[in-house]
Chains A and B, each alone.
Chain A
């Protein structure tokens, strides 16, 4: 592969962010629809030959879902090979859009001729935010600032015949719905001795009794004894897709693609088979943690076809994903070299120690990982995990994360009900659907991990604190030292998070506890973490990820499959009788489709046809050959014919597919 362009950190975008004086504003206000719109307009105006604005669809509340198409040349989008980048499926993760926007800006900052070459006949489609309705809650567009995972679908979550009648209430009138800590000897929490603003779980096994319980700021509006139990989370768009769809759950919706946002996304991807990979910026990560192989592939029938949904990827596809991952990490290395080169001017950070600490932590995480699929490549894993701001320790954890968020919607953190198998794509998600039912490469990055885990090494922690890049720690709870802030991911207000906010955010994001006389509970305190805080990547995390994604995506565009006819051999066997043989060869790095797409006919194979003029006739060999799954870097399929035709007849071979450029070969018989 050609050397990748090295991106300078100094290219980091200056988004038109509005600073506010409010102490309790989030560290960085999320991009508004207006700001996204301005970004689209600027990009399109600055690059009229490369950038087209487009509208994917409309949210349930009526907001357009917009994005950018980056493409060079005249071909319509439907005929192009390329990749789709999606952000902002979860309303509580507005920062995902910032990653996609920053990515677009980095790509468009590349030299125009380089871009035009890379995008010739190809396309990158970028949709920064799908869930405008949900994010609107965090933006304060729907009353007090609150978290809303899904779209604006109303629901009767508690099945009492009333819809959305008992949401949180902004009792203290500060414009934000936070938490209440309620003195309660039956509660499971105690004030943390490291930081009395924080809470940790009472050690009941050691005889310690809880002193508080924690609830969402609000009232029992409908008087049914449950507070905030029907607050309207909408349908979680990233659980509204048909692979492993969570049936009969509020998050999953009434049926797969019941929500207009999810439907628009599905219709678009389905109609553009050339977009052979999807990159989702959200709560999954397949570039750091490779999804595992299907443990069991149930095959049968006369074609030995797959007969039931897979719980993992086909092994050929895992191998290809590993190559995506390797390139993703190469992009990091380029960035590191770049950062080191810049270190004198930009006294930023000690990327190396940061990364090493990460690598250790990840190695630990892997040891705990029961999923065998990842265990046989320890070396690659260590390397793959050697990164600063990427993703999770393992799938279990990234998932536990979203469960926690669910739990926060109800009064008490109940048992985690959303089960996800380690190493598989999350059931009901766009990503899982895109792979399992549309055959596309399932690429996903998580912009950051909330700092609920505190570094096990105090020094690394302080390095972290100074670093622009280290947003997270990684130590396991068991490794915690006595004097460290509590490392409790379940806590609604972990001391570790407060320490991080103090160190790096000047305390922004924590709303101080203030006394409140609650009509139902008496004296309580209202405060805690600002909605969205633990999910939303900070702007520097978004920038750092975009730095890495931009060269990687350029690399991927160049790696897309590309077929050609090679090894043509025409022999005259007798007067007017010829044999013709040729091979179709894939010179791209990626296979012509995923193995799954090929096995399940979800993307069509390369179709090779022999076109004969009048007077010529096939004596042997097919009129058309459907070529399934050519591996990258020289995967080939031979084909041959016997033809009766006059000398000097011109024949034509054509190959067409959705994932590679069409090619033709003219052959003049001797």
Chain B
């Protein structure tokens, strides 16, 4: 199989060489100078979006959708070169991030994609083509409340996944009344442990590193004198129901709130009351549904190094017919090259079952080729050099590697050492552990690489949206004074103008091909015209001058149409698609 990415990039480089760019890579000064070695809170991301829109108003428009449950406007960037056509006449790509509040880096990756397109427009031909021929809708923060809360309040790498609508998770009629508590007020939410009589605990301290808790098997606890217990996340029983931290802020999952295989909360945790029940998901749903030209979707999450596609449940495999899977694989296989440490995976088969996920809605509900990337892979934190992947050594636990990384690479920045705290329920305990910035997000010095690679994966995906042109217009003499007109439209990219999922499930409308010419009478017409045998095509019974193409124009393929006509003069053949604009062929009898 040819690798279109390679050829695309080679082409770009060749053109760049000819154009003699003003700056070489190493000492290039950005026109829009943004620090990509850090994260930004809600206000920071908004400021970046405002800056991009104000610096490149001719290419970039900022609007706000939502607002979120807590009232934060959700910035959304539209990149389109109006001078080359209105939005709805072009294929568009949707990019979002941070639907889970703690999975922050998706926000930076989304803004970076916009920035890179604007910053390199007119400089790198591949970028210029994308900006001129495509549209990008970029929403960096699907969950601005969860994002802001994660940055400003004590949290773990895993907490603040939810949005902030108060939710009664323990069904006691009270909302968000028993979340974690920062017992010592140090701004960190870490783990509680307590020392107990030897033999009555379930852990002991690592003999070489007392920061590390070693779990002791049940049958060895007496013998080894296990003398520590772990007490979970920092917190106490705020509502006196005997449970700790069981009803924290929010308490749901907006990536289970979309109308594709949606299941209620008791089957799918976090699903919400019904699809689109949250302000954020409703606003996005409305925006996307109103733009049938969206032909590619990318959603950024963390972590694990994955390029994921649906289905989220094995019962929905029929939404991914073979020809679509071929497209998914064509993009994701090159994606594995663009993204070292990332793997091409299927959500339900390789991760876990998801009902009502966002890319499941865009893929299965709207028939759009859609990916979720899990940004950042912890395998990148610490290398054993020639020994290879430390995870494969089986000698050191992940926790030990985390400590090596923190000690030797981060110089202690990401770890809170155990220290004593008085607990209202448990007496004296120790709290300690890794801070929220360790585990699911990369260290500052690795952010830029992560978001660049993910952003250009999006650009590669965007480049695979259908690009259709007239391949040939042929007029032959037919019997009885008739003329035979054959027109071929070619799609030079992977994504068809109508996916097989859309065709199978009756999503959206077929492409429409219209033959028009004053003084010309259409006698017959139809698609699937044979290349050589002029009599071989699927003549339709009605409206031969207006043909419906259920399958559109396939990826890296063509559709060839034929008409038997009579008369003379000029004619046009117009291909009208929902996802790739309009293409007009013309000719004369």
Contact of A225 with B542 at beta-carbon distance under 8 Å, contacts A159-B509, A160-B509, A604-B168 already known = yes
Our pick among B263, B266, B509 for the contact of A161 (Cβ within 8 Å) is B509
Q: Which of A224, A305, A605 has the most CB of B within 10 A?
A: A224
In this assembly, does A242 line the interface, its C-beta being within 8 Å of a C-beta of chain B?
Answer: yes
From 251 to 286 in chain B, residues with beta carbon under 8 angstroms from any chain A beta carbon are 259-260, 262-267, 273-276, 285
- List 15 A-B residue pairs with CB atoms under 8 Å apart, sorted by A's residue number: A156-B509, A159-B506, A161-B548, A242-B274, A255-B276, A255-B285, A266-B273, A270-B273, A306-B267, A437-B264, A601-B171, A604-B171, A605-B171, A623-B240, A626-B171
Check A161 against B512 for contact (C-beta < 8 Å): yes
In the complex, chain B residues whose CB is within 8 Å of the CB of A257: 274-276
Chain A residues closer than 8 Å to B507, beta-carbon distance: 248
In the complex, which residue of chain A has the Cβ closest to the Cβ of B576? A161
Known contacts A159-B510, A256-B275, A623-B241; is-contact A307 B267 (Cβ 8 Å): yes
Partner of B242, one of A243, A600, A622, A656: A622
Residue of A nearest to B262 (CB): A242
| Interface 0/1 of A587-616, CB less than 8 Å to B | 000000000000111101101000000000
> How far is A307 from B315 in the complex, measured between Cα atoms in Å?
14
List residues of chain B with CB within 8 A of the CB of A624. Answer: 172, 239-241
A173 at the interface (CB under 8 A from B): no
How far in angstroms is the closest Cβ of chain A from B89? Answer: 16
Q: How far is the CA of A604 from the CA of B239 in the complex (A)?
A: 17
Q: A352 to nearest B CB, angstroms?
A: 46
| List of B residues within 8 angstroms of A243 by Cβ | 264
In this complex, what residue of B is CB-closest to A263?
B274
- The docked-state distance in angstroms from the alpha carbon of A600 to that of B172 is 14
- B198 adjacent to chain A (CB < 8 Å): no
- Report the bound CA distance from A437 to B274 in whole Å: 9
Contact digits for A54-82, partner B, Cβ 8 Å, 1 yes 0 no: 00000000000000000000000000000
| Docked CA distance A605–B168 (Å) | 12
B 558-589 contacts with A by CB, 8 A: 576
Closest to A156 in B: B509
Q: Does A436 contact B (CB under 8 A)?
A: yes
Q: Is B289 an interface residue (CB 8 A)?
A: yes
A-B contacts, CB under 8 A, total: 92
Question: Looking at chain A, what size class is its interface with the partner chain?
Answer: 35 or more
In the bound complex, residues from chain B placing their C-beta under 8 Å from that of A619 are none
Task: Please provide the chain A residues from 131 to 174 with a CB less than 8 Å away from any CB of chain B in the complex.
Answer: 156, 159-161
- Measured CB to CB, the nearest residue on chain B to A656 is B173
B303 CB, min distance to chain A CBs, angstroms: 25
Collect the chain A residues with CB atoms within 8 Å of residue B433's CB.
Answer: none
CA distance A156 to B508 in the complex (A): 9
The SS class assigned to the B binding surface is: loop
Q: A604 touching B240 by the CB < 8 A rule?
A: no
Q: Write the chain A residue with the least CB distance to B367.
A: A248
Asked whether, in the complex, the Cβ of B505 is within 8 Å of the Cβ of A160, the reply is no
**Shortest Cβ distance from B302 into chain A, in angstroms?**
26
Residues on A close to B: CB < 8 A? 156, 159-161, 223-225, 242-243, 245, 247-248, 254-257, 266, 270, 305-309, 436-437, 599-602, 604-605, 607, 622-624, 626, 656
B541 on interface, CB distance cutoff 8 Å: yes
Which chain A positions have C-beta within 8 A of B264? Answer: 242-243, 436-437, 600, 602
Q: Which of A160, A305, A436 gathers most chain B CB within 10 Å?
A: A160
New A-B contacts (16) at CB < 8 Å, excluding given A247-B259, A256-B259: A159-B510, A160-B510, A161-B510, A223-B543, A224-B542, A224-B543, A225-B542, A242-B275, A243-B264, A254-B259, A255-B275, A256-B274, A256-B275, A600-B265, A607-B173, A623-B242
Residues in B neighbouring A622, C-beta threshold 8 A:
241-242
Q: Is the CB of A223 within 8 A of B542?
A: yes
Q: Bound complex: CA of A626 vs CA of B174, how far in Å?
A: 12
Do the beta carbons of A305 and B506 come within 8 Å of each other? no
- Measured CB to CB, the nearest residue on chain B to A242 is B274
Chain A contacts for B260, CB-based, 8 A? 247
Q: CA of A656 to CA of B174 in the docked complex: distance in angstroms?
A: 12
Which residues of chain A are near B4, meaning CB under 8 Å? none
Residue of B nearest to A658 (CB): B173
Residue pair B274, A266 in contact (C-beta under 8 Å): yes
Contact A159 B172 (CB under 8 A): no
Interface size on B, residues (CB 8 A): 35
Give A196 to B264 CA distance when docked, in angstroms: 53
B266 & A601 in contact (Cβ 8 Å cutoff): yes
Q: Does B365 sit at the interface, judged by CB under 8 A? A: yes
Chain A residues positioned under 8 Å from B275 (CB to CB)? 242, 255-257
Q: In this complex, what residue of A is CB-closest to B260?
A: A247
| Residue of chain B at shortest CB distance from A306 | B266
| Residue of chain A at shortest CB distance from B508 | A159
How far apart are B121's CB and chain A's nearest CB, in angstroms? 34
Chain B 525-571 interface residues, beta-carbon cutoff 8 Å to A: 541-543, 548
- CA A161 to CA B546, docked complex, whole Å: 11
> B576 — which chain A residues lie within 8 A by C-beta?
161
How long is the Cα–Cα vector from A225 to B285 in the complex, in angstroms?
36
- Which residue of A is nearest B366, CB measured? A254
List of A residues within 8 angstroms of B506 by Cβ: 159, 248
Q: For the complex, what is the distance from the CA of A256 to the CA of B276, rounded to whole Å?
A: 9
- Tell me which of B239, B259, B507 has the highest count of chain A C-beta atoms within 10 A of its own C-beta: B259
Q: Decide if A600 touches B266 in the complex (CB within 8 Å).
A: yes
Q: In the assembled complex, how far is the CB of residue A431 from the closest CB belonging to chain B, in whole angstroms?
A: 15
Nearest-neighbour CB distance to chain B for A306, whole angstroms, equals 6
The docked-state distance in angstroms from the alpha carbon of A80 to that of B241 is 27
* Minimum CB distance partner of A266 in chain B: B274
Shortest Cβ gap from A654 to chain B (Å): 11
Residue numbers in B under 8 Å from A309 (CB-CB): 263, 267
A602, B171: Cα distance in complex, Å: 9
Would A607 and B266 be within 8 Å (CB), given that A160-B548, A623-B240 are in contact? no
Closest 7 CB pairs of A and B: A255-B259, A600-B266, A225-B542, A623-B240, A248-B505, A437-B264, A601-B171
Interface positions of B from 193 to 210, Cβ below 8 Å from A: none
**How many angstroms between the C-alpha atoms of A622 and B243 in the bound complex?**
11
Once the chains are docked, how many angstroms separate the CA of A656 from the CA of B265? Answer: 23
In the bound complex, what is the Cα–Cα distance between A602 and B168 (angstroms)?
Answer: 11
Contact partner, A254, options B168, B242, B289, B509, Cβ 8 Å: B289
The interface residues of chain A lying within 8 Å CB-to-CB of B171 are: 601, 604-605, 626
Alpha-carbon gap, A508 to B506, bound state (A):
41
Expressed in whole angstroms, the Cα–Cα distance for A225 and B543 within the complex equals: 9
Residues of B within 8 A of A656 (CB): 173
Contact among A248, A270, A626 with B172 in the assembled complex (CB-CB below 8 Å): A626
Least distance between B27 CB and chain A CB atoms (Å): 51
Closest A residue to B277 by CB, please name it: A257
Q: How far is the CB of A401 from chain B (nearest CB, A)?
A: 25
Q: What mask results when residues 85 to 110 of chain B are scored 1 for a CB within 8 Å of chain A, else 0?
A: 00000000000000000000000000
Kindly state the separation between the CA atoms of A243 and B262 in the bound complex, as whole angstroms: 9
List, in ascending order, chain B residues with CB within 8 A of A307's CB.
267
The chain A residue sitting closest to B289, CB to CB, is A254
Q: Shortest distance in angstroms between B582's beta carbon and chain A's nearest beta carbon?
A: 12
Q: Report B-chain residues with C-beta under 8 Å of the C-beta of A161.
A: 509-510, 512, 548, 576
**With A255-B275, A656-B173 in contact, is A305–B266 under 8 Å at CB?**
yes
Q: B170-184 CB contact bits vs A (8 Å, 1 = yes)?
A: 011100000000000
> In the complex, A243→B265 CA distance in Å?
12
B157-192 residues at the A interface, CB under 8 angstroms: 168, 171-173
* Cβ B548 vs Cβ A159 within 8 A: yes
Alpha-carbon distance A248/B506, docked complex (angstroms):
7
Chain B residues lying within 8 Å of A605, measured Cβ to Cβ, are 171
Query: Is the pair B240, A308 in contact by a Cβ cutoff of 8 Å?
Result: no
